[in-house]
Amino acid sequence: MSIKKNKPIIGISIGDINGISAEVTMKALLDNRLHKNITPVIYAHGKALTFYKKLLNLEDFNFMQIRNVDEVNHRKNNVINVLDDSPEVLPGVETQEAGKLALYALRQATEDLKANKLDALVTAPLNKNNINSPELKFVGHTEYLTEAFGAKESLMFMVSEDMRIGMASGHVPLSEVAAAITPENIRKKLDIMIHSLVTDFGINKPKIAVLGLNPHAGEDGLLGREEEEILKPLIREYKEKGIMVFGPYPSDGFFGMLHHKKFDGILAMYHDQGLIPFKTLHFEDGVNFTAGLPFTRTSPDHGTAYNIAGKNIADEGSMRAAILMAYDIIVQNKNWEEG
């Protein structure tokens, strides 16, 4: 295998070491396709990775510890210790110490992104419960990174080879979803999606479907007015500009009849409306991509999976796909030129 002297540096924040984050990260990085194209920097602690290397018999996973990204070795898996001491690794157990490591990993990776020392960030799954405190309300990676970089808007964009679905409202209670369905918000999310499909995925004339908020997409106003008063006028607005936006579609029939295969992007109105069909179809290869940020961020589409942590049965497919997609988007955006 030929190795380029200089490759894009992709940071990986380790997430919760008591879940499957370390396992899927280490297994994914055993894939030679990754090392041919990227240089990984894992924000974690070497002792935690050594624990899983022994527990899971991942003898082929090797790494070198570096103090900062400036010391990166393009031929190795690089690890930065984000804490002086590693917390005790307890697979399947939620601990505050593991939450602290996950938060510090994310913070340091974020600082290196701001300093332009990373070309992309892949975030491994963490547990919001052991990160939240009176001092910090942590809703999710998407919201954390959006605020950290002062971005006006971002879009949670679930992506696979044949399906790309964004959420008009992300991590908000269901009781607050209707209030988030405003012309301004939907327009912002559509604009981010259109821009991302063109610049990040190379689709020149994307075709986008908008899902309805209410059952049967409101049934012509019988079951809700959002479709008639907000979504339909907006869709007409985009069509008049020559932009291919269609809908609103009833979500049950839309996925039931496999209409998602006919569109380049889909805008769902709320979290579960988009995530349930996506994870049903693409749990093992789906990627969570945050569109609208000034850098590339991806993540596997699953959580910490405490119930299988440390059992050597976690599937690394989604993590591998997240790393590969981060590289593909870097190249598509021409943020990296092979030398």
Distances (CA, A) of 333 to 95, 200, 289, 296: 39, 6, 15, 10
The 10s digit of each residue's pLDDT in 88-102 is 999 999 999 999 999
pLDDT score for 3: 40
d(CA 6, CA 157): 29
Judgement on whether residues 135 and 206 belong to the same structural domain of the protein: no
Judgement on whether residues 268 and 280 belong to the same structural domain of the protein: yes
- The domain in which residue 190 lies consists of 153-290
Mean pLDDT of 61-90: 96
Judgement on whether residues 226 and 174 belong to the same structural domain of the protein: yes
Judgement on whether residues 167 and 233 belong to the same structural domain of the protein: yes
Q: Which residues contact 323 (CB under 8 A, 6 or more apart)?
A: 10, 12, 28, 29, 34, 38, 40, 122, 298
Confidence of residue 224 (pLDDT cuts 50, 70, 90): confident
Q: Is the pLDDT of residue 4 over 80?
A: no
Q: Is the pLDDT of residue 59 over 60?
A: yes
Confidence of residue 2 (pLDDT cuts 50, 70, 90): very low
Q: Is the pLDDT of residue 262 over 60?
A: yes
d(CA 157, CA 102): 22
d(CA 180, CA 176): 7
Helix or strand holding residue 328 (H, E): helix 317-332
pLDDT score for 335: 58
* Concatenated DSSP letters of 182-226: -HHHHHHHHHHHHHHHHHTT--SS--EEEE-SSGGGGTTTTT-SH
The total domain count for the chain is 2
pLDDT score for 47: 97
The 10s digit of each residue's pLDDT in 285-329 is 899 999 999 999 999 989 999 999 999 999 999 999 999 999 999
Confidence of residue 220 (pLDDT cuts 50, 70, 90): confident
The 10s digit of each residue's pLDDT in 158-173 is 999 889 999 999 888 8
Judgement on whether residues 216 and 173 belong to the same structural domain of the protein: yes
Percent of the chain's residues with pLDDT above 90: 79
pLDDT score for 68: 96
Judgement on whether residues 175 and 141 belong to the same structural domain of the protein: no
pLDDT score for 194: 97
Judgement on whether residues 167 and 146 belong to the same structural domain of the protein: no
d(CA 135, CA 243): 44
Judgement on whether residues 209 and 270 belong to the same structural domain of the protein: yes
Judgement on whether residues 10 and 140 belong to the same structural domain of the protein: yes
Q: Which of 290, 313, 331 is the last residue of a domain?
A: 290
Judgement on whether residues 77 and 46 belong to the same structural domain of the protein: yes
> Phi and psi (nearest 5°) for 57?
55, 45
Q: Shortest CA distance to 210 belongs to which of 249, 168, 255?
A: 249
Q: Is the pLDDT of residue 334 over 80?
A: no
The CB-based long-range contact list for 133-138 (8 Å cut-off, 24+ gap) reads: 136/103, 138/103
Q: What is the mean pLDDT of the chain?
A: 92
Kindly report which listed range (39-53, 126-140, 261-275) carries the lowest average pLDDT score.
126-140
Judgement on whether residues 334 and 247 belong to the same structural domain of the protein: no
Q: Shortest CA distance to 278 belongs to which of 155, 160, 173, 193?
A: 160
Q: Is the pLDDT of residue 336 over 80?
A: no
pLDDT score for 228: 94
**CATH number of the domain bearing residue 311:** 3.40.718.10
* The model's pTM: 0.90
Judgement on whether residues 205 and 283 belong to the same structural domain of the protein: yes
